[in-house]
Chains A and B, each alone.
Chain A
Amino acid sequence: MNEFCRAGHELDAKTFAAIRRRTILEGCKWDPQVEDVSTLARFPLIMRASIWKSLARSAELLATEAVAAESEILQKPKLLEGLGLPRRLLNVLRADEQVSPAALRVIRFDFHPTTAGWRISEANSDVPGGYSEGSFFTGLVNAEFPELRPAGNPGASFAEQLLRNTEGQGTVALMAAPGYMEDQQVISFLAKNIRERNCAATLCQPSQLEWRGGDAFLHGDRVRALVRFFQSEWLAKLQNSFGWRNYFRGGNTPLANPGSAIVTESKRFPLIWNELSTELPTWRALLPETRDPREVPWRADESWILKTAFCNTGDTVSIRALMKSCEWARAQWSARFFPNQWIAQRRFESVPIETPDGPRHVCVGVYTIDGRAAGAYCRLSPKPLIDFAATDVALLLEKDE
């Protein structure tokens, strides 16, 4: 085992088939297979409790710093210009109206074991997913390993905190664009968790919501809280009549997450750190050096990788050594002509672990909900890049020796 974590033993075929079936039918996991790859691992990822405690603490510090930085940036509109935001969004965030309130703040920090220790590749501040895999699936796998325990239950924690933070009657509306099955499964799972706590939860799309003086209404009824799984940059493409500004400023309905979360979702967030009075020691320690692509020789030096400012599923992470020449050429062209939409980031050397499927690179996505660690969504990949085809794995904790 390496110093970070290890793979547990593989479950037998019959047991795993039953877990998989329940996960997709009851846990709203609707994309369990990508071409020839099963996206659910047949074995758990096992981590010592002390290591988890350290990661959880780091995530909590990162969350506290992120929220403080976001607050400062929203008061200094000039800083918003460096984040690569769409123009319409920039204009709304620079306005004078009050920032729309949070029903809760959930952030998922993606940690990777590297030759330099744990490092984060990004913070999913806007619309983090993976709740079903980190909660329901993990719970089912845990039942087969009773000597271990899960790192948390992010789905349950999300629902409980949301209901604790919001009062009154009315349904919780959960919004996503239909047709995006990966998004629908996320809000379906969260809705299920909310309903299990005796609160109405209704799935919807942006145009179904009616905004009256900053309050959201659905089917004529006031909404108690609005859970958003619809990226902020997409909101800015809506017609004004859909009241999309209310997700950012001027709204009264509590949001999870509020649209202002896009500030720290931007991969260009580190480029304005030096202009902040907020201290960001944990970010500075854990995020690889990040620069404007115009400042560093990323074309000649393969220790730099490219990412777009809003890179949601790892789909625009551009690593020359892992790409075909035509793909790299396209990324290179875009970064040269639209540098404000890109970053260059030092590449870290991921340390793979041995698994029953062979060596795999690990990503441990640690959730924080209102600043408290709440579990993890973990993925494995045969290459040092985690994208939509990575395998989801249950993280279980063991006692320290």
Chain B
Amino acid sequence: MSRCCWKKMNNEKVFSAWAPDHSIWSPWVKPVLFSHLPERDTGGFELLPTDISWAPPRDERIALVLDLPGDAGVKLALALAKNGYRPVPLYNAIPVSGDAPGNEIRAAVDVVPIVRALSEGANLLVDLHLGSDAPPAFLLDANRQGPGEVAPDQFDNRSVSFTTDFPSANFLRAHGIQRAVLVSKRAAQPQDDLAHTLRKWQDGGIEIRVKGLLDHGGAEPIEIKRPPRFRSIFQRALASMGLRRNPMGGFGAWVPNPESHGGGG
């Protein structure tokens, strides 16, 4: 177990720790969670022992895609960072409803632990002095599409991962990356939204492997199946519309509660 020394950081410094100017992967870091970091002191980060024996050495130039629930991705990424991987957070959910204090609504997807882990892990990341070309570990919240039905009166902050959230296969190959490993709880086909990216990478010459953290052994080759509406020019719109069909005209809407809302008109 290691514990990094604690330093006070504002959100700009925390963001800079995860998206330093010198890293070629920084442009892809999603800023939403960082712009919602509370202005308060953050504690130190306790890096628990984590089995990363399956992870390829950084010299093999492999991109990792960690599709893990909650803050598990951040914690694993920090362990991998010690082995030379650059974590690239792609979390794209608004953590809070934005209502006045006291009126805040419980969010459908709890990303507060992720916010906390990003904040607390920043010092550790800075201290590792990762190189500009460290291979990337892209971080997604496996719970991003919510637990199924969203309860009435919840703030619906579910999100979708798009192909445009990642670098292209051309960019990866131009930086010496020929292979990517999808890391999830179980070795399986990726979630539908992520499948678009991985299939596109696969078609672009990137070999895809999959590693289930609950499975024994290393990463296994996988053929990413063609997801629905693959390569549609309207993929962004279709993904949005398909995630939730409700009276709000698309996904990400406030879930209506007919019992509690009257309304005139």
Contacts and interface: CB of A to CB of B under 8 A. Distances in A.
B99 A210 contact: no
A317 to B, nearest CB: 11
Interface in B134-160: 155-160
B12 to A, nearest CB: 6
Sort chain B's interface into a size bin.
Answer: 35 or more
A25 B252 contact: no
A205 B168 contact: no
B31 interface: yes
Given A203-B99, A234-B249, A240 B265 contact: yes
B248 A13 contact: no
Chain A interface SS verdict (over half): mixed
B168 A35 contact: yes
Interface in A156-177: 171, 177
A242 interface: yes
Interface string A193-215: 00000001011111111111110
Contacts, number: 154
Nearest to B246: A237
B265 to A, nearest CB: 3
Contacts of A277: none
B252 A178 contact: yes
Given A30-B32, A32-B27, A214-B264, A242 B256 contact: yes
A276 B156 CA distance: 44
Contact of A238 (B21, B100, B160, B248): B248
Interface of B is mostly: loop
A206 B255 CA distance: 10
Contacts of A203: 97-99
A68 B159 CA distance: 41
A241 B262 CA distance: 6
Interface stretch (B54-62, B71-79, B124-132, B231-239): B231-239
Interface residues of A, number: 61
* Among all A-B residue pairs, the 8 with the closest Cβ atoms: A179-B252, A205-B254, A234-B249, A243-B265, A203-B98, A243-B263, A211-B264, A24-B31
Interface of A: 13-14, 17, 21-22, 24-26, 28-30, 32-36, 38, 171, 177-181, 184, 188, 191, 200, 202-214, 219, 230-231, 233-234, 237-246, 250-251, 315, 327, 388-389
25 contacts: A21-B16, A21-B19, A25-B15, A25-B31, A25-B34, A26-B35, A30-B32, A32-B27, A35-B164, A36-B171, A178-B156, A178-B157, A179-B158, A179-B243, A179-B253, A202-B100, A203-B99, A206-B253, A207-B254, A211-B263, A211-B264, A211-B265, A212-B264, A237-B248, A239-B258
Given A214-B264, A389-B164, 4 more contacts: A17-B21, A30-B30, A178-B156, A179-B250
